[in-house]
Structure 1
């Protein structure tokens, strides 16, 4: 337990670089042992000043590097399946950023491969489960003090969408966090999806259907609605209100610095997810490191990653067809309870 956990980080882009910083400067009990990224200079820049890190262009080389005992996958989604199966072949525990695998068929292959191993190796990076506000809401709902949850009202807004962002990505990228949060908060599967879209905002890139209104039905008879607006222009906002039989509870109202002057007041609004959920990311990675060093796997697993991909695929079909689309989940292996 005294030896640091050597982590291979796959991907040194925006998310990967932040995780490299986090492991090196924030998290205890771990060190960055290797980094893999096709862009060597980007990888070298991400680990500048960190001793003992080997830099690679290939995933296999990073996984086989000396001192590697676990893997953090922060590469683009389409590369995740191959990386996960490579980690399985080496028996390496994995923290995989969402989506675990974008396509549900690939995600199911990962679930089946892990089930054949007979033990869990994967934790999926749905970091909202580690956010303090989400944790308090989960505890309140589980306590039953407000009675049975009837509805969740969710808001997900970004300042602007990155280049190449598509209408489908509002559902399968942005709303994927709400998909997992709703399943976790309610303890229910999402069974059907409907997507409605108003006239696109004038600030949305040409052809992007933004904003969208996504409605989920659940196995327990609740409804979950999500307003997703990725070109709001003013900030990053994530909110959730639970409406229950005997009361309501809302999280996400910013409690930040308010500056009052010249007859007005100005409240700070976070500009991206790395600011809004900084503490959640820190807590998520620290929990993963602690569990891994003890030989355990906790948090959202491969089944949660698969379920999120399957629901998101149904959501994209609902967006394209304008109709209600049922979610078809494969049987859950015994490994996932």
Structure 2
């Protein structure tokens, strides 16, 4: 590792998310520094690299991973590029924080599972950042304590002010509801076994062809039912909320009641404009804990199995969305490495 134990990190992909991670590693967290940035747009990578002492710009991920000052990899490139980058990281046995999706489909995610198992140890943490949000962590601890009894239902809301004109129905599942898929599995400690998608009359403000909002239902192997309101064009801001209904009570997060004002005959508070603002602290905590674990020689957090399971549920969700039918989720038996 560089600089007396400081972790040298290569960030692959320097778009909105990748550039934000470069800033985060360089300016926010401790124990790591950006030693390489990688992008197929060589100019964009160079523009970022020149602002950071000791950072080199690359257009080839393999070249960056072979560099002597790279100890770990943060993948923030588009999903279709993840499989190749992950396999290259495995060749160097490098720890990886991979933004979701692990890969775009369950078949390629399964290949990653198999390759990581051949290493004989975990190397991948998947970037499901909600697991590092303070409210979600409190809800997880409460459910795990058993104080409210067995979870029976979970109500989730996921709202965006707007989406790009190219946003598709499939992206509602693969890019948005995938977060609720992971949170439901993690919070409940159960696998999702079936998905149903209901579509009301579309919002008149949605892009042409986008059936928004949608109601997505999950069934789990523990007998719980999860419903997700996905409303990508609500118009008023970004909201993520969840309520667990248990045998002896309920618990709800995401109401944004940290600051409430009463003035000029009105009461209320702020609504975050997007996910970067809403989950900024969660991203910081996620990357810091990845760095800390890596420096200890450990891999923790959401695993490649979680990435694979999310991909499989997404595929069932897209099929359910297209057919209107309840669709079963197809999963392999969970390998020993991920138990």
TM-score bucket (shorter structure): over 0.9
Residue 326 of structure 2: aligned partner: 324
Pick from 166, 169, 177 the counterpart of residue 167 of structure 1: 169
| Structure 1 residues 288 and 104, CA gap change in structure 2 (3 angstroms) | same
RMSD: 1.2
Contact 1:256 1:268 in 2 (8 A): no
Residue 195 of structure 1: aligned partner: 197
Q: Which runs of 5+ in 1 are unaligned?
A: none
| 2-structure distance, mates of 1:143, 1:227 | 27
Cα deviation 1:303-333 (Å, max 9, x = unaligned): 0000000001000000001100000101211
| 2-structure distance, mates of 1:41, 1:271 | 29
Shift of the alpha carbon at 1:266? 4.4
| 2-structure distance, mates of 1:155, 1:43 | 36
When structure 1 is superposed on structure 2, of 58-67 and 301-310 the one drifting more is 58-67
Q: SS in structure 1 opposite 2:252?
A: strand
Contact 1:20 1:47 in 2 (8 A): no
Pick from 112, 115, 118 the counterpart of residue 114 of structure 2: 112
Residue 134 of structure 1: aligned partner: 136
| 2-structure distance, mates of 1:56, 1:277 | 29
| 2-structure distance, mates of 1:162, 1:41 | 25
| 1-structure distance, mates of 2:96, 2:102 | 11
Shift of the alpha carbon at 1:42? 2.2
Pick from 169, 177, 180 the counterpart of residue 179 of structure 2: 177
Shift of the alpha carbon at 1:265? 3.3
Shift of the alpha carbon at 1:49? 2.1
| 2-structure distance, mates of 1:159, 1:99 | 22
Q: SS in structure 2 opposite 1:210?
A: coil
Q: Is structure 2 residue 34 aligned with structure 1 residue 32?
A: yes
1:9-158 residue pairs with structure 2 within 5 A? 9-158=11-160
Q: SS in structure 1 opposite 2:144?
A: helix
Q: Is structure 2 residue 262 aligned with structure 1 residue 272?
A: no
Shift of the alpha carbon at 1:162? 2.4
Query: How many aligned positions are there?
Result: 337
Shift of the alpha carbon at 1:38? 1.0
Contact 2:156 2:243 in 1 (8 A): yes
Shift of the alpha carbon at 1:213? 0.4
| 2-structure distance, mates of 1:259, 1:325 | 45
Shift of the alpha carbon at 1:222? 0.3
Cα deviation 1:258-285 (Å, max 9, x = unaligned): 4544332342110111111111111100
> With structure 1 as the length reference, what TM-score do the two structures score?
0.97
Q: Which runs of 5+ in 2 are unaligned?
A: none
| 1-structure distance, mates of 2:56, 2:49 | 9
Cα deviation 1:10-58 (Å, max 9, x = unaligned): 0000100110000001110000010111112322333452111111111
Q: SS in structure 2 opposite 1:175?
A: helix
Residue 291 of structure 2: aligned partner: 289
| 1-structure distance, mates of 2:187, 2:260 | 30
Shift of the alpha carbon at 1:256? 4.4
| 1-structure distance, mates of 2:210, 2:46 | 35
Q: Is structure 2 residue 335 aligned with structure 1 residue 333?
A: yes
Q: SS in structure 2 opposite 1:191?
A: strand
> With structure 2 as the length reference, what TM-score do the two structures score?
0.97
| 1-structure distance, mates of 2:121, 2:138 | 30
